[in-house]
Amino acid sequence: MEIFKQFIFSFMSTIGFAVLFNSPKNSVIYAGLVGAIGWMLYYITFMATNNYVAATFLGALTVGLLGEALARKNKKPATLYITAGIIPLVPGAGAYYTMLHLIENDFSSAAAKGVETLFIAAAISTGIIISSIFSKSIKRVRQKD
Amino acid sequence: MTNLKYDEREEVKKLLVLATLAGRLMLKSGAETYRVEDTVIRICQSRKDIQHVDAFVIPTGIFISLEFKGELISYIKRVKTISIDLNKISLVNEFSRTFVSTHMSIEDGIKEIKRINKISIYSNIIKSLFGAIASGFFCLLFQGTILDFLGAFIVSFIVSFLLNSISKLKLTFFLDKFIGSVFISILSYFLIKLGLGDSLDKVIIGSIMPLVPGVAITNAIRDTMSGDFLSGLSRGMEAIFSALAIAFGVGIVLFFS
């Protein structure tokens, strides 16, 4: 039940962001699905391992692979699906807390939050870079045949 | 100096302008650095007799140079504001493909780019509504209650609408985000007092989500990892200072409340 709820919530918030980012109308729903499935993987991995970075990495990898697959299918750039799709994973709250701790003169909390935010952002970027390299090499192998 | 025919040179210059306009439109809409460089180079190389095209793109500007029959021509364009617009990225991407593979004239190309620049698919109200939906459901995603959802929804709707109107004044991104987060915290504070929302923290975090530089952080690291260090640095600065502006805005209000 909780998983189902999480799916709906992440789906809706990704759709919201897709419209905020001016996604074309026919890709809004796809972006929502990509975001929700990515978040599902994050949620399940996080429940199993309690590790933010690993969970974020898997989530972002899923978002990247799905985005590339949809891009191939609809002949559109993959960013259309990926930019909004990673939003639930993005450490926005982390960045905000880091700066808030800094303002409150609480430097050790700020450093802890800041490093965590940076690692999560790095995990997202790595996931997306790996998925795009993966899809490029598939393309190359297919062209050779 | 000029053994070139006048027309030919004018034609190449126009091509360069077209490539820069297309690149700038993509960059302004938040496209990745490598994609902009690719597009610009592809457009320049699509016509004959052009050699040694290279483009240097960073989030704040585009530099292109090419060699045409032994003469070097270059062009620079500054880019100031970046606001994410995926539709434009997709349209320019499609345009560059058709331009390269067909014999579209350069004038038509420039007209097409100008047309794409004016397209906006969602109205102000629709965007604010979806911004509010995004904020509300984000609140729920972080274990907020249904009251928190309502609070974040209302706050985000009002502030998104306000910020969309403010963006016409072309203040800097720092002031935009600062003003936005000040309004968010004040509104959240009063809504909580009225009973719309259980925890102030969750309502505020949900509502600031559309302002938070999540995409900038991720793109900064992505650019750096793929070797575009200057772009990475520039987007990273944007991310850090956006987060700072939001934290200042919220911090000031929470301090006085």
Encode pLDDT of A118-129 as tens digits. Answer: 899 889 989 988
C-alpha B147/C-alpha A139 separation (Å) is: 49
Average pLDDT for chain B: 87
Greater confidence (B2 vs B233) lies with: B233
Residues B37 and B100 in one domain: yes
Residues B79 and B170 in one domain: no
Question: How confident is the model over B95-119, as pLDDT tens digits?
Answer: 998 888 888 888 888 899 999 988 8
Domain map of chain A by residue range?
2-144
Q: Are B127 and A129 a contacting pair at CB < 8 A?
A: no
A-chain CB neighbours of B205 within 8 Å are 93, 96
Tokens of A119: 């690692």
B8: pLDDT strictly greater than 60: yes
Confidence of residue B4 (pLDDT cuts 50, 70, 90): low
Question: How confident is the model over B132-188, as pLDDT tens digits?
Answer: 999 999 888 888 888 889 999 999 999 988 888 887 787 888 999 999 999 999 999
Residues B39 and B23: beta-carbon distance below 8 Å: yes
Residues B136 and B243 in one domain: yes
Residues B99 and B147 in one domain: no
Residues A86 and A128: beta-carbon distance below 8 Å: yes
Residues B139 and B236 in one domain: yes
What is the pLDDT averaged over residues A82-91? 88
B1 assigned to some structural domain = no
Greater confidence (A48 vs B166) lies with: A48
Q: How far is A137 from chain B (nearest CA, A)?
A: 16
Residues B129 and B236 in one domain: yes
Give the side-chain half-sphere CA count within 13 A for B161: 10
Residues A38 and A86: beta-carbon distance below 8 Å: yes
Q: Tell me, what's the pLDDT at A115?
A: 92
B-chain CB neighbours of A17 within 8 Å are 130, 134, 210
B49 assigned to some structural domain = yes
Q: How far is A9 from chain B (nearest CA, A)?
A: 5
The shortest CB-CB distance from B86 to any of A6, A80, A122 is to: A80
State whether residue B249 is helix, strand or coil. helix
Residue B127: closest C-alpha in chain A: A20
Integer angstrom CA distances of residue B112 from B108, B109, B208, B256 = 6, 5, 36, 52
Residues B226 and B137 in one domain: yes
Residues B242 and B131 in one domain: yes
Residues B237 and B184 in one domain: yes
What is the pLDDT averaged over residues B52-66? 89
Residues B44 and B53: beta-carbon distance below 8 Å: yes
Confidence of residue B5 (pLDDT cuts 50, 70, 90): low
ipTM computed for the complex: 0.85
Q: Are A6 and B141 a contacting pair at CB < 8 A?
A: yes
What is the pLDDT averaged over residues A79-108? 85
Question: Which domain covers residue B236, as residue numbers?
Answer: 124-256
Split into its structural domains, chain B has a count of 2
A92: pLDDT strictly greater than 80: no
Confidence of residue A65 (pLDDT cuts 50, 70, 90): very high
Q: Are A79 and B213 a contacting pair at CB < 8 A?
A: no
Q: Indicate the range of A90-94, B67-71, B92-96, B108-112 predicted with least confidence.
A: A90-94
Q: Are A9 and B32 a contacting pair at CB < 8 A?
A: no
B190 assigned to some structural domain = yes
Q: Are A100 and B250 a contacting pair at CB < 8 A?
A: yes
Q: Tell me, what's the pLDDT at A144?
A: 65
A-chain CB neighbours of B133 within 8 Å are 12-13, 15-16
The shortest CB-CB distance from A80 to any of B90, B209, B225 is to: B90
The shortest CB-CB distance from B243 to any of A16, A84, A95 is to: A95
Q: Are B90 and A84 a contacting pair at CB < 8 A?
A: no
Q: Are A12 and B133 a contacting pair at CB < 8 A?
A: yes
Last residue of a domain, one of B84, B118, B152: B118
